Amino acid sequence: MSFHYPAEWENQKATWLAFPHNSQNWSGARRERISRFYYELIGILSRFQPVKALVQESWKLPESEARAFQGARFAPEFIPIPTDDIWIRDYGPVFTYDDDKETVAEFKFNAWGAKFPPWEKDNKVPSRIAELTKFPLKSVPFIFEGGAIEVNGDGLGITTLNCLTGNHRNPIAALPEMTAAIREVFGLKDLLVLPAGLHGDHTDGHIDNVARFVAKDRIVMASDDKQDSPNFQILSRNKALLDAWLRKYYENKAHIDLLPLPPQKKLGKETLPASYMNFIYANGALLYPCYSAERDAVAQHYFSVLYPNREIIGIDCSTVIEEGGSLHCLSKQEN
């Protein structure tokens, strides 16, 4: 048994989403805004590849949207599988390959260390999708989320320590066994465990807000040049660790890019961990989160230069970030 998990920039079969429905998070005007956001996102993605959105049994596609999607290059598919929340990156299936056989891997999910109940329906999503697709199911007996891992398709992966052993997660004594399981599922020869993620990130510091591979030997990471910022020391330390680690494998071809964080806004007492690292790929495109900030243009320029053959699309994520996530958090690619 030898697993391989493709890099996200490789060809994709589909993007999976979970349509918002939880009235505890989305009600009134916010419900209308998040629904419009999802219809816009589905419309954009369906220009490039299939979209598969999980919906509640009672959900109906509005006629206006149904007419709009009729002209899509790839007609979106709405699949009745119950969920608790929208963050399918974290609880959804890991589409990996056992040799050449596509397989669904599942970890245990408890809403980021039992912070945001309920999560029972979300925890069953991978097995439901495995049943639907007829893919083999591999269950891993550890708590871990999809947003906590970043891989380059060449045997390297990155995560953060608190996402492994934080409160109500996995015992520290299980760390060697857990990291071995992660390396197996994602086909890794090495897994770098960074000490921390972004300040205020209630996921305990997911890597997809901190650093992302953009090529097997190139990483882009968030930066903060304000020395009084709580993220300054975190990100400076992470950069030093990432640089030394990447050079160990790719020597002078290794490269670390920096992209400044957008302003970190607050909702009440909570920090909203906005980051341009939460971008996603589609076939022929890259979608990145915008936050109505001057630095949105910096992100647009960076991605346009990096990927001249992809369409670079900024999407306003000012509504979805109010619940602590963005494009990568709410989607799952199937390669």
Indicate the pTM of the whole model.
0.96
Residues 239-262 have pLDDT tens digits of 999 999 999 999 999 999 999 999
Average pLDDT over residues 46-60: 96
- Mean of the pLDDT values across residues 73-86? 96
Residue-level pLDDT at 95: 98
What is the mean pLDDT of the segment spanning 51-63? Answer: 94
| Domain ranges for the chain | 3-334
159 or 67, which is more confident:
159
Give 174's Cβ-side CA count (13 Å radius).
Answer: 14
Strand, helix or coil for residue 208: helix
Ramachandran category for residue 114: left, alpha or beta (phi over 0 → left; psi -120 to 50 → alpha) = left
For the record, the structure tokens of 193 come out as 């465990």
The residues with which 53 forms a beta bridge, in sequence order, are 17, 78
Q: Which CATH superfamily is domain 3-334 in?
A: L-arginine/glycine Amidinotransferase; Chain A (3.75.10.10)
Please compute, for residue 125, the number of CA atoms within 13 A of its CA located in the half-sphere on the CB side: 35
Residue 292 pLDDT more than 90? no
pLDDT value of residue 169: 96
Query: What is the pLDDT at residue 266?
Result: 81
Q: Phi and psi (nearest 5°) for 238? A: -60, -40
